[in-house]
Structure 1
Amino acid sequence: MRRESDLRTFLTALVLAVVCSFFVAGANVLLKPRQDMNRELERKKNILLAAGVLKSDTDINKAFDSVETYLVDMKTGKAEKGEAGKYFESIRRLAASSDAVHLSKQQDVAVIKSIPAKIPVFILRGADGKIAKVVMPIYGSGLWSTMYGFMALNSDLNSVSGITFYDHGETPGLGGEIDNPLWKAQWINKKIYGNDGSVALSIVKGGTHGESQVDSLSGATMTSRGVENTVRFWMGQDGFGKYLNSLKQGGA
């Protein structure tokens, strides 16, 4: 009798597990399009936020209609019009693919090992048709996580329009303050490059007054250093440096 009771209990649990898994899988399939749409909307929001054009009443999708997307060849710096596609959902896979750009220890200041062969950038133009903002995706290692964000430059391709991080696992209240609007506001109009063309921007304690300095996060030295190294890599010649140089010379 006991064996029959145990078998009945097992079968009941099995049936419940199968039914529940069916409903969970079904819900996931039904909700995926909406989840993908929300992720894309959030990405567009962060791009516009970094560019400094997002206001409380902005229609994000409508505003993004005028944003041009280019795919940058990270080996040559050449770019062509394209679409971001599934880049943001596939960064790790693309960075591990056969055509990825592998970084030497000396190059890898952001501690990311390799980067995708082609990366999307976003251009906003003024009424005169000239480049007003260039927004680039960036990522690098913090204290606990890989920090993913966007950096935007003004038309001079040197001063910062804005920076934002949309995905990270840094400590709330410490390294997590990279998301704090007050800290991000310090970046606006800071100079990326020095007179010799090298990346000069640094994050230092009390660095609010230097034209290429941002104040470090209190109690988050390693995260601050990670952000600095991330910017140093992506704005340098192993990141978007070659592409930005082509823009300065009149490239598309």
Structure 2
Amino acid sequence: MRIVVCVKQVPDAKDVRLDPVTNTLARDGVQSIMNPYDRHAVEEGVRLAGELGGKVTVLSMGPPQAGETLREAVSCGADEAVLVSDRAFAGADTWATTHTLAQAIKTIGGADLVLCGKQAIDGDTAQVGPGLAERLGLPYVTCVKKMLSCDGQTIRLQRLMDDGYDTLEARLPALFTVVKEINEPRLPSLKGKMKAKKLVIKTLTATDIDADPDQIGLKGSPTQVVRVFSPQPRGARTMFSGTVDEQVEQLAAELEKIL
């Protein structure tokens, strides 16, 4: 089975801050990490490949330093890594990103199964997985919480819902986005770290993947972020403390004042 896992390098959420002058994310001095949801996608890909036989390729679009995230994925069990990197990709929104990733997957020979994290913590759109499936012409399921069985042609799984879960069946090839409940990512092994250190990451440019110049980067992005800002607090705020029962009584008392 050929499994491709899409991963993204993102700023560490605990270090994220806004530049007060430009009102954009300040990235200087902020540590970058693998998107947390993508860790679970990598783990599930490695687990499935171990059970069914096959190869796991981790794929990322980003600057050269995104190679660090790919090496981390390999140290956790992935077999090979591909970085799609080109200045022409700068400023891409989810539409342009899915075109780039789809072209890259086609270039490396396609996949029987594509796995993505539910969403990236820096954008939180959850659009790339479904958009990529549409670009590749694949059926997809979002928010997968458990893989129940797979015979190499069909996968039975559970999809997380607000009030429980759905049990679904999908034929391969397909694309799934996963949530954190699906597994517990393993720690890098010593053997994996040694492999990752020696790994030669395959790097592809826009020309290598035959990307459409009108569908990549800022030029190919129909949406653009004009400004990012922290909303200012509005109105008076009251903090409740104590046990749950005590807080409920305090809330009831406050509501009585305005009613």
Report TM bin, short chain: under 0.3
The normalised TM-score by structure 1 is 0.26
Which structure's CA Rg is the greater one? 1
- Which structure features the higher share of helix residues? 1
The normalised TM-score by structure 2 is 0.25
Structure having greater relative contact order (Cα 8 Å, sep ≥ 6): 2
